[in-house]
């Protein structure tokens, strides 16, 4: 009897292993025309503010990139205003570096829900465009991925690089090196700003070095006041030791073109590699662009109120730095290079449109487009058409505007 039961258990175990093997082979048999997939397993919800133990599988769509069959990771939900949306953004921290979605080997990743941004491509389009301006410019590399939670489809996501010390090429041994996320450094110091309500004594959102080991806030405060209050002669003479004007001009052009009004005073990382380099900007958060504003309302082509940015204001009004002339020249250089043209921007939109249209439809079945959260009930196809109609009109507006510089 005992031997019979033992044989039965062995048989059931073999059957279970065969079935699970078939299931795993099907689960990880992703076709090249499919998007890669991440499966997150956790009984409880993934918390905000603090990473929690979670389990993950990764199904690659590229035979050159390994699957992750099952791995213990750390994850947290993320977002400011977007935290109230039902589809959350996530940060995930892998046990080891891994190449996800064809991007570079890393162990920390951002999973962007793009809940309110129905085209899914405004971030990526803006970031790709900024790097086209200059390959040295920093902006997150992005790809598209599908997320499942406890085997249930959770939606289409954007997987993005984190803007950390490695990606920004920070010399961590240099005492002047630093990274700040969206510091209010270009806002007039007289304006009261609730910059970082979730973390005391970190007004400038210091990401590197560790604030408790080396507080860079006094340097940021000094720089903010210098930008706002330095006499014109001193400002014009010293500003080039703090910022590279060619970088600022490209950033200014990106803001004008995308009409990212949020990006005028935030939507960037401010960083300094070492003592021999000036402060630089890595762009971040461009979902409110290309025909949609901060409240998700469609907006007409036009010129954003960049004058709110104290640095840009002073540069434009400088009598000695030739900023306006240089910006005008740079804009038309980018036009002549075929970067800032309707044809190129439309091609960039179409490239991602073709990749995403089937997956966006699937996402809309999971997250209906007529929910109360949305300003209107446009779908993915509508958003693509809105962007493609908006681009030539905005290019014309910006071209005419900078021609008057």
Q: pLDDT tens, 239-252?
A: 999 999 999 999 99
Q: Where are the strands (E) in 189-315, listed by range?
A: 206-208, 268-272, 280-283
Residue 5 has pLDDT above 60, yes or no: no
Mean per-residue pLDDT for 30-53?
88
Kindly report the average pLDDT of the chain as a whole number: 90
- Nearest residue to 249 (alpha-carbon basis) of 180, 333, 344: 333
191 & 298 share domain? yes
69 & 196 share domain? no
Q: How far apart are CA 274 and CA 167, in angstroms?
A: 14
Higher-confidence position of 15 and 164 = 164
Rounded to two decimals, the pTM is 0.90
For 251-288, write each residue's pLDDT tens digit: 999 999 999 999 999 999 999 999 999 999 999 999 99
138 & 198 share domain? no
Residue 21 has pLDDT above 50, yes or no: no
193 & 331 share domain? yes
Q: How far apart are CA 108 and CA 163, in angstroms?
A: 10
Q: What pLDDT does 18 receive?
A: 38
Q: Is residue 169 part of a domain?
A: no
| Whether 59 contacts 26, CB under 8 Å | no
| Whether 40 contacts 55, CB under 8 Å | yes
Report CA-CA distances (Å) from 109 to 20, 113, 251: 29, 13, 25
Q: Is residue 202 part of a domain?
A: yes
Q: Is residue 380 part of a domain?
A: no
Higher-confidence position of 72 and 81 = 72
141 & 221 share domain? no
Q: How crowded is residue 263: how many other Cβ atoms within 10 Å of its Cβ?
A: 24
**What is Dmax (Cα atoms) for the chain?**
99
Residue 58 has pLDDT above 50, yes or no: yes
Residue 200 has pLDDT above 80, yes or no: no
Mean per-residue pLDDT for 154-183?
96
User: Which of 126, 161, 196 is a domain's end point?
Assistant: 161
| Whether 298 contacts 328, CB under 8 Å | no
**What percent of the chain has a predicted confidence (pLDDT) above 90?**
77
For 303-324, write each residue's pLDDT tens digit: 999 999 999 999 999 989 999 9
Q: How far apart are CA 136 and CA 250, in angstroms?
A: 12
135 & 275 share domain? no
Give the residue numbers spanning the domain of 102. 33-161
204 & 326 share domain? yes
Q: How crowded is residue 166: how many other Cβ atoms within 10 Å of its Cβ?
A: 14
Q: What pLDDT does 194 receive?
A: 67
CA 27, 29, 30 angle in degrees (round to 5)?
Answer: 100
DSSP 47-87: PBSS-EEEEEEEE-SSTTS--EEEEEEEEEEE-SGGGGSSS
Q: Is residue 358 part of a domain?
A: no
66 & 121 share domain? yes
Task: pLDDT band for 14, please (50, 70, 90 cuts).
Answer: very low
150 & 46 share domain? yes
Q: In what order do the strands lie in the sheet with 280-283?
A: 206-208, 178-181, 268-272, 280-283
- Provide Rg for the chain, Cα atoms: 24
Tokens of 60: 């690659």
Q: What pLDDT does 22 receive?
A: 42
Mean per-residue pLDDT for 174-181?
96
262 & 128 share domain? no
Residue 30 has pLDDT above 50, yes or no: yes
User: Which of 161, 188, 206 is a domain's end point?
Assistant: 161
Q: What pLDDT does 359 receive?
A: 97
Q: Is residue 387 part of a domain?
A: no
Domain count, the chain: 2
Q: What pLDDT does 11 receive?
A: 44
Q: Is residue 383 part of a domain?
A: no
Lowest-pLDDT choice from 61-65, 304-308, 384-388, 396-400: 61-65
Task: pLDDT band for 195, please (50, 70, 90 cuts).
Answer: low
Mean per-residue pLDDT for 215-237?
96
User: Which of 161, 194, 222 is a domain's end point?
Assistant: 161
Q: Is residue 385 part of a domain?
A: no
64 & 111 share domain? yes
130 & 215 share domain? no
Task: pLDDT band for 196, please (50, 70, 90 cuts).
Answer: low
Residue 6 has pLDDT above 70, yes or no: no
Q: How crowded is residue 131: how many other Cβ atoms within 10 Å of its Cβ?
A: 15
Q: Is residue 6 part of a domain?
A: no
Task: pLDDT band for 380, please (50, 70, 90 cuts).
Answer: very high
Residue 160 has pLDDT above 50, yes or no: yes
């Amino acid at each position: 009897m005992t031997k019979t039961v033992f044989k039965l258990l062995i048989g059931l175990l073999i059957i279970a292993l065969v079935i699970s093997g078939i299931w795993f082979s099907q689960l990880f048999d992703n076709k090249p025309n499919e998007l890669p997939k991440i499966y997150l397993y956790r009984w409880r919800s993934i918390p905000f503010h603090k990473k929690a133990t979670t389990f993950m599988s990764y199904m690659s769509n590229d035979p050159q990139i390994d699957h992750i069959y099952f791995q213990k990771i750390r994850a947290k939900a993320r977002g400011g205003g977007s935290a109230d949306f039902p589809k959350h953004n996530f940060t995930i921290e892998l046990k080891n570096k891994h190449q996800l979605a064809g991007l570079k080997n890393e162990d920390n990743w951002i999973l962007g829900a793009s809940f309110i941004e129905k085209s899914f491509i405004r971030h990526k389009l803006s970031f790709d465009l900024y790097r086209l301006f200059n390959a040295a410019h920093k902006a997150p590399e992005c790809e598209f991925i599908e997320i499942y939670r406890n085997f249930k489809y959770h939606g289409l996501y954007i997987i993005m690089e984190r803007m950390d010390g490695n990606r920004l090429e920070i010399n961590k041994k240099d005492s002047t090196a630093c990274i700040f996320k969206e510091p209010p450094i270009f806002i007039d110091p007289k304006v009261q700003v609730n910059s970082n309500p979730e973390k005391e004594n970190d007004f400038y959102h210091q990401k590197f070095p560790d604030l408790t080991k080396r507080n860079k806030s006094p340097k940021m405060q000094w720089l903010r006041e210098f930008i706002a209050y330095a006499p014109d002669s001193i400002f014009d003479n010293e500003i080039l030791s703090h910022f590279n004007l060619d970088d600022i001009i490209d950033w200014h052009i990106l803001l004008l073109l995308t009409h990212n009004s949020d990006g005028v005073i935030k939507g960037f990382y401010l960083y300094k590699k070492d003592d021999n380099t000036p402060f630089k900007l890595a762009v971040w958060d461009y979902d409110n662009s290309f025909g949609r504003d901060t409240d998700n309302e469609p907006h007409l082509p036009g010129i954003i109120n960049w004058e709110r940015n104290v640095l840009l204001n002073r540069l434009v009004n400088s009598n000695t730095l030739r900023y306006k002339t240089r910006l005008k020249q740079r804009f038309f250089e980018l036009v002549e290079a075929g970067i800032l043209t309707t044809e190129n921007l439309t091609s960039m939109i179409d490239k991602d449109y073709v990749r995403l249209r089937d997956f966006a439809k699937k996402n809309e079945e999971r997250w209906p487009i007529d929910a109360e959260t949305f300003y209107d009930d446009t779908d993915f196809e509508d958003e693509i058409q809105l962007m493609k109609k908006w681009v030539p009109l905005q290019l014309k507006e910006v071209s005419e505007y900078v021609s008057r510089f």
